[in-house]
Structure 1
């Protein structure tokens, strides 16, 4: 009976290792292709141009996750409303794959379409919630929608299970917008989303963000939000441009070591902070 010697055993082991290595390489290439497709899909759905008005500036930034394959459904959006207001939305679809990125596009389009019917943030989120539930998907969405009236400086916002917004004024006040909020979209039938109203009375900034900006191995959400309050406060007092603040907040998310997407939407009002 033939007997394999040490050299035969070594050749068989090397061949097996070579096969496993090739399989691992193929899986890595497939995962990389899926991630690249998800990033391209996601970036293609984000708005190219952001609206402006006298004394109003809007800026945004988005980056994919720092580590691993966590490309998900974070988005931001800003667009003019039929009534002359400006609508802003930011959100995060559950999941980190192509399906989440594609669903993000559906939610963003739904918000835009329904905003032509009603721009009242609470009602808009309630209608969007009903629409998502009718689709029968297993995915859910956290989201904040804000409506600004450029003529009066009135700011209305509603939140669906999302990270709170941050505000700061040129006279040195700043804080976290602790509005009541409601559950994520696509979870609960008949959910109610209270609308919070405030008003720009001096120069100030209002910052919408996703949890990838403020949460990671280095910080809890609350710790991250407090640091954003400090950054926004300093920027408002110094009169930093919206673009510069958005860029700075995204750089801050790198320090957090975020394991999720990160998106920031900054609204700056130059005219006569936010009375909350």
Structure 2
């Protein structure tokens, strides 16, 4: 056995030995150092994970905001998204007045029903106090104690207590559009620099989303105005009472092909038409204008049943124009004994809905004809139905009842129930309620025309002497 030298760690033959054993204090120091390094590495990994989560959350938030096209929805989504990113309990977005001196709109989120009730009747803030600091200076603002801040103007009665604030300006095309405010982190801590950075980044994307929504709104308004210019103003249909509604699709910039029309015909009957051209673009709107105008001329000129008018319309269209497939319901209200008879024909369109004075509903289902633009060689049937005095006859397009998640029968049933519930309202209010609470998903434009059937028939106006009867 060789012995180790205590001085140099060599054995008697001069070879290196294992060296002296480390002292306990050295082992403890080494373990402490390793623990600290592991803790530091763990902290860095957690920070990296948090940063990754925040970046992913910011990306998701930007995509969510950019997916909205309605301006009011965009503003609310900006507020709720910012709250989620930093874990804030309350949020608001104040939209600046054109003068840039005060807030003209204030979109809030996070208030409970009780808190909203407590603030009912209290006007929204217009940018006084701490909120006004961002109006004066659009640099990011962090406040740890709102009541103690020199600019604080206090809270109105019923306002929930708030101490912390993070404010960031939102710019659109280089101009201040409004200010995004967040208050009270869920963990009770004040907002930090990381919170500020992520909200500043969100505000940059929010400005782009707001501008997109504003542009889409302008396009939508122009499209709706163009569409309404193509629709007629109904003449006096005495003794019938009539009311109409047209609503564009909920998706902005979508032109539609829905239309309605009604007129008093030379033989003292009343003609009604409602139709829907396939497509949702400028071509569909242009085709609608052509079909509508041609049908109006044929209906007024001919004394034939509706089916024959549709046959002639279909032949003329296919011979003179390239138009999309179109559905139409064409009807005449004809005097019948002491009342009125409905005579109608459909080209692939929904039948009218009859609501009787005792609030019974009935779809006037009958054999439909094929839509326009399909075939001119197929027979188009006519149908008749007596119309009780005081009843309502509703013509409508599919945008009122179609829903991607429900069957068309469910939509029709829901419409009939809705119509029966509100049939005793004034007719203009009746059609507005149907359009406001329609059972469809709102993805298509909708047109409604309602007639209230009078008691008795039209009294022909006296003709000047010598004028022949039609």
Give the TM-score taking structure 1 as reference length. 0.80
Name which of 40, 44, 49 aligns with 2:229. Answer: 44
Superposed CA RMSD in Å reads 2.8
Structure 1: distance between partners of 2:255 and 2:371 = 20
* CA-CA distance at 1:32 after TM superposition: 6.8
- Verify: 1:66 aligned to 2:250, yes or no: yes
- Verify: 1:207 aligned to 2:430, yes or no: no
SS at match of 1:162: coil
SS at match of 1:42: helix
* CA-CA distance at 1:147 after TM superposition: 0.6
- Verify: 1:75 aligned to 2:259, yes or no: yes
Name which of 443, 447, 455 aligns with 1:259. Answer: 443
Taking structure 1 as reference, are residues 191 and 251 closer, same or farther at Cα in structure 2, changes over 3 Å only?
Answer: same
- The residue that corresponds to 1:168 in the other structure is 355
CA contact (8 A) 2:345 2:368 kept: yes
SS at match of 1:41: helix
Taking structure 1 as reference, are residues 179 and 170 closer, same or farther at Cα in structure 2, changes over 3 Å only?
Answer: same
Structure 2 unmatched ranges of 5 or more: 1-204, 457-470
CA contact (8 A) 2:223 2:254 kept: no
Taking structure 1 as reference, are residues 196 and 51 closer, same or farther at Cα in structure 2, changes over 3 Å only?
Answer: farther
CA contact (8 A) 1:51 1:86 kept: no
Taking structure 1 as reference, are residues 35 and 221 closer, same or farther at Cα in structure 2, changes over 3 Å only?
Answer: same
Structure 2: distance between partners of 1:100 and 1:229 = 29
* CA-CA distance at 1:125 after TM superposition: 1.0
Structure 1: distance between partners of 2:212 and 2:281 = 15
CA contact (8 A) 2:356 2:388 kept: no
Name which of 100, 104, 107 aligns with 2:288. Answer: 104
* CA-CA distance at 1:33 after TM superposition: 6.6
Q: Which has the higher contact order (CA 8 A, sep 6+)?
A: 1
Name which of 129, 148, 154 aligns with 2:314. Answer: 129
* CA-CA distance at 1:26 after TM superposition: 11
- The residue that corresponds to 1:140 in the other structure is 325
For residues 7-43 of structure 1, the C-alpha deviation after alignment (integer angstroms, 9 at most, x for no partner) is xxxxxxxxxxxxxx9xx99999997776555433221
Q: In the TM superposition, what are the counterparts of 1:192-271 in structure 2 within 5 Å?
A: 192-236=379-423, 239-253=424-438, 256-271=440-455
Structure 1: distance between partners of 2:224 and 2:445 = 10
CA contact (8 A) 2:317 2:323 kept: no
* CA-CA distance at 1:172 after TM superposition: 3.7
Taking structure 1 as reference, are residues 270 and 136 closer, same or farther at Cα in structure 2, changes over 3 Å only?
Answer: closer
- The residue that corresponds to 1:114 in the other structure is 298
CA contact (8 A) 2:220 2:252 kept: no
CA contact (8 A) 1:71 1:260 kept: no
CA contact (8 A) 2:219 2:253 kept: no
CA contact (8 A) 1:167 1:232 kept: no
Taking structure 1 as reference, are residues 51 and 187 closer, same or farther at Cα in structure 2, changes over 3 Å only?
Answer: farther
